[in-house]
Copies of this chain bind each other. A is one copy, B any other.
Amino acid sequence: MYFKTLEPAFYDTDALGHVNNTRLPAWFEWARNDLFRVFVPDLDPRKWPLIMARIEVDFLAELQYGQPVEIRTWLSRLGGSSFTVTQEAWQSGVCGARGHCVLVQFDHHAKQSLPIEGELRATLVSHVHEHTDSAELDVPALRAAARALGTHSAASEGSVPA
């Protein structure tokens, strides 16, 4: 599991006073950076081997400006050339939004999907948890593992609930 913490910006809010729904797909894309590094270690866009097939987001509670948001990211499905990424946005101990997206390993020149194999597949397997709700997972253990692996963001201790 990947953990990253962000600070909302004022422009993330809308006239209802909390974070606008259109920001969640953007936050989730940002939080996939560490996962993208599995495919493109230096994140050079010219080597990009992924295409987005689908996104979905459920809005569970209002997210506010002024408090950090932890994004939890894992693979809930790993297929032959595609996979599903599940992500949650937590703030003040509450899961405010949960999203799933389907990405496909894709050759942008040949315009065709590519099988996920070998070492790449092995690395992705280590991030697979066949659950679509982190409440079903042992988050403290996953958090400790992420700290050891360097896939846990540098937010100061204590700012985000376990």
| Shortest Cβ gap from A95 to chain B (Å) | 14
| Shortest Cβ gap from A107 to chain B (Å) | 13
Q: Determine whether the beta carbon of A43 is less than 8 Å from that of B56.
A: no
> Which of chain A's residues 1-48 have a Cβ closer than 8 Å to chain B?
7, 9-11, 13-18, 20-23, 25-26, 29-30, 33, 36, 42-46, 48
Q: Which of A11, A16, A59, A154 gathers most chain B CB within 10 Å?
A: A11
Contact A66/B52 with A7-B33, A14-B13, A16-B108 known, Cβ cut-off 8 Å? no
Instruction: Report chain B residues within 8 Å CB of A11.
Output: 14, 20, 22-23, 26, 29-30
A45 and chain B: residue at smallest CB distance: B15
Q: Determine whether the beta carbon of A7 is less than 8 Å from that of B22.
A: no
Instruction: Count how many chain A residues have C-beta atoms less than 8 Å from C-beta atoms of the other chain.
Output: 41
| Shortest Cβ gap from A15 to chain B (Å) | 3
Q: Determine whether the beta carbon of A22 is less than 8 Å from that of B21.
A: no
Q: Which of A22, A36, A45, A46 gathers most chain B CB within 10 Å?
A: A22
Q: Determine whether the beta carbon of A59 is less than 8 Å from that of B66.
A: no
Contact A30/B9 with A21-B52, A52-B21, A55-B57 known, Cβ cut-off 8 Å? yes
Q: How far is the CA of A71 from the CA of B11 in the complex (A)?
A: 17
Q: Which of A7, A14, A23, A44 gathers most chain B CB within 10 Å?
A: A14
From B18, B22, B58, B108, give the contact of A29 (CB < 8 A).
B22
The 4 closest A-B pairs by CB, nearest first: A43-B66, A15-B45, A9-B30, A56-B56
